[in-house]
Amino acid sequence: MSDELTLKDIVLKTKSFNRFLFSKWKNIALGSVIGGLLVLAIAFIQKPTYSAQLTFALADEKASMDGFGAAAGLASQFGIDLGGANGGGAFSGDNLLILMKSRNMLEKSLLTAVDLRGKKETLADLYIDFNDLRDKWKNKPELKDIRFPVNADRNTFSLKQDSLLYTFQDDIIKKNLTVNKVEKKSSIIVVAVVSKNELFSKYFTETLVNIVSAFYIDTKTKKANQNVNILQHQTDSVRHELNLAINGVASSTDQNPNANPMFQILRTTAQHKQVDVQANQAILSELVKNLEVSKVLLRKETPLIQIIDKPILPLEKNKPSKFKYFLIGLFVGGLLMIVNLVLRSVYMKIMR
């Protein structure tokens, strides 16, 4: 029972610990001041960052599909497989957020050329420059001269270039890029990029959204586009055949303008051509109907991505609060000094 810790023991030990800390207040104060000054120095040295934010609305899929069933039923009567309900489903809703952080989309954005003070440069090279990576690569001959030229053939990139692009993408996802919905059930998405370079923040945000939007729309409308293109080709072909048949009827009639009624054989060519005209007219009429239905459904399938807000220069400048940093430094410095004093005290007791 003698080893049990009573409430009285706890109170006495607490008082003893407080007396110990009070006796070392000068050391603790010194540690706090040193910590505050060190963190304040970091705040002075630290470069500001720039925030670019782009907000856009993605049309509600359920709303965009209103009337689809009726139109698809009409199209099926003409033998058209629209496949709209499943077209591009892999990139619907929340998956668009994942697409924003995919390697392919980020790589295309980094390799996009932008106009920087009258000079074309890829965002990958700009990323290297403002992060001072070339200075860090001075002792690495295989990296110090590496670049990502404008309009370069992606298939010609070296393993080092591939590796760097992967590293850039990983760092951007972890440190620079955020993609979120305004609310869980909202269709409004906010894309934000924070970096040490104002132009990179702005251009990368806009480029990424443009590339992802184009890819998303192309994927969602791929099958509907194929249907329209096929029907357009068929319609053009039948119209061409119809024109040839009409010309054939006229030509046959001109060759025998006053055909003898006793010789029906003279009219057979014109009659055959007339049958071709009537058949092609019927086919063309159905194809035109099918084509118009497909175009309507293509418009329904095309997602509406409406930009609400886009980054405008000058961007919001994020400077570290020196006062806040100093207070944090005071607290951390004092805490570390207390831990140090306690450990030293325990060590001295053990060594006695």
Question: What pLDDT, in 10s, does the model give residues 83-120?
Answer: 544 454 555 557 788 899 999 999 999 999 999 878 99
Number of compact structural domains in the chain: 2
What is the predicted pLDDT for the residue at 250? 60
Q: Indicate if 100 and 87 belong to the same structural domain.
A: yes
**What is the average per-residue pLDDT within 62-83?**
51
**What is the average per-residue pLDDT within 162-182?**
95
pTM for this entry: 0.69
Q: Indicate if 147 and 260 belong to the same structural domain.
A: no
Do residues 126 and 200 touch, judged by C-beta distance below 8 A? yes
Q: Indicate if 273 and 149 belong to the same structural domain.
A: no
Question: What pLDDT, in 10s, does the model give residues 294-313?
Answer: 888 878 887 888 999 999 99
Q: Indicate if 263 and 116 belong to the same structural domain.
A: no
CATH code (residue 79): 3.30.1890
115: in domain? yes
Q: Give the ranges where 78-191 is alpha helix by DSSP (H).
A: 95-100, 103-110, 123-130, 133-136, 141-144, 159-171
72: in domain? yes
Q: Indicate if 110 and 208 belong to the same structural domain.
A: yes
> From the CB of residue 303, how many other CB atoms can be counted at a distance below 10 Å?
19
Q: Indicate if 135 and 57 belong to the same structural domain.
A: yes
24: in domain? no
Q: Indicate if 178 and 289 belong to the same structural domain.
A: no
Higher pLDDT, 105 or 270: 105
Q: Indicate if 121 and 84 belong to the same structural domain.
A: yes
The SS3 assignment for 73 reads: helix
Give me the domain span that covers residue 100: 49-221+303-318
Q: Indicate if 273 and 205 belong to the same structural domain.
A: no
Kind plus residue range of the DSSP H or E element containing 121? strand 119-122
